[in-house]
Copies of this chain bind each other. A is one copy, B any other.
Amino acid sequence: MTVQAKTRPSPAHEAQKFFFELGMVQRTKVGARLAELGLSFSQAHALRILDPDEPMPMSALAERLFCDASNVTGIADRLEVRGLVRRQSLEGDRRVKALTITPSGMKLREQVMELMSQPPDAIAALSEADQRALRDILARAAAHLRPAD
């Protein structure tokens, strides 16, 4: 139990506190708006990830959702029942089922994109300069994301 090691929290540590708080609030708000559309957060996120032009295998979706493949079955089921998505066996490999967005799914997807790409009020309220700086810094951080795979 040395006394050191907590000598100085890095600025990143301090930033994390705000980052987390903003994230929680935003998630709650967005969740409420999504509920009005009859969508859960996961369903909306899935809809967002799906490429309107390219059918996506369920396993690929599972990877993007950071969850088990068996979980995607249920999510796809519920989206499919509502006619937002269709399962389509891949020609060439009939094991894999790719998901396609239906026209009505596309309409809902638009709204979801609009909704979820909206920044938290607290961030929208920042000055232009702050917003730009924030965007640039987060862009640099996100760039660190891919190589880290």
Chain A interface (Cβ < 8 Å from any Cβ of B): 10-25, 28, 66, 116-126, 128, 130-135, 137-142, 144-145, 148
Contact A10 B139 (CB under 8 A): no
**Number of copies of chain A assembled together:** 2
- What B residues does A120 contact at CB under 8 A? 16, 141
Q: Is the interface of A mostly helix, strand, loop or mixed?
A: helix
Instruction: Enumerate chain B residues within 8 angstroms of A140, measured Cβ to Cβ.
Output: 126, 130
Give A19 Cβ to nearest chain B Cβ, in Å.
6
Give the docked Cα–Cα distance between A86 and B4 (Å). Answer: 32
- Do A142 and B12 form a contact, CB below 8 Å, given A24-B66, A121-B148, A126-B137? no
Given A66-B28, A134-B137, A140-B126, also A145-B22 (CB < 8 A): yes
